[in-house]
Structure 1
């Protein structure tokens, strides 16, 4: 069994996620878990725009939940 440990443990992030039609799924402050990650569950078979803000830094990306897509995202583009 393996696991990952992120660097930003118990940090607060502003998380904004909308689908491609502009419907907002998440718009809230979230705290990273003891493993340094944020756990998100999104409906299948869709593409989303994701924006995560922390201490004035913004990371933005698109991600999707189609069969074969990655289920663990550990990178985003810092803007």
Structure 2
């Protein structure tokens, strides 16, 4: 945990974990586990790019993660 990319991607990933755990205990399953793979891979890719000297690409990848979560996983849908 040395760079800003480490902190940001770990925070996003922790949010994904909380959302997944909350949804997995619900009586009615809203989404499948495979839908969590793209944002998890996005966290890994964004962190990798940021730590290896590609800050613009890293920020683009990291910025797409909340968009994906908002549009596909819909954390605040009723």
TM-score range, shorter chain: under 0.3
Structure that is richer in strand per residue: 1
Give TM-score, length-normalised by structure 1. 0.24
Which structure carries more helix by proportion?
A: 2
* TM-score normalised per structure 2: 0.24
Q: Which has the higher contact order (CA 8 A, sep 6+)?
A: 2
